[in-house]
Amino acid sequence: MTAPLRIVSIGGGTGLSALLSGLKKYTQPFGSAVDVTAIVTVTDDGGSSGRLRREFEVLPPGDIRNCMVALSEDEALLSRLFQYRFQNGHGLKGHSFGNLFLTALTRITATSGTRSAYLPKFSVSPAPSTRLPPRTSFWRLSLKTDGA
């Protein structure tokens, strides 16, 4: 058995999710096993991510949300789901479903004593670079495929 192709990328913002989407498309035709790790830096303090960061003291989820969408099998469907923004509702208005999902996931894993969450084909780990309210932090996202 051939060792999986291992790719590590570091970045943030829209550039990293665009790179991951391209890597996914490039590696799929070869049918090989792939292990992609994305170190997603986060410093966002505006919009939905900023509100969740301040209220729940979590890493801003917006960039990791976009990277998960980029690496998903059905990018169009997960994009529509994770990018869905609530247009009304007290406290929900302006939040994307993906940001709320990742905030809940962070809170659940923190209270269960685990540092990462495993979703189908994904491993997601928030990793602050400081104990203070995060100003510069990162998420670690891993995607493993078996080539099937």
Q: Is the pTM of this model over 0.85?
A: no
Q: In the prediction, which pLDDT does 108 show? A: 81
Check: CB of residue 53 under 8 Å from CB of residue 59: yes
Domain ranges of the chain: 5-145
Check: CB of residue 89 under 8 Å from CB of residue 42: no
Of the pLDDT bands very low, low, confident and very high (cuts 50, 70, 90), residue 148 is: very low
Of the pLDDT bands very low, low, confident and very high (cuts 50, 70, 90), residue 106 is: confident
Q: How far apart are CA 21 and CA 38, in angstroms?
A: 12
Q: In the prediction, which pLDDT does 114 show? A: 53
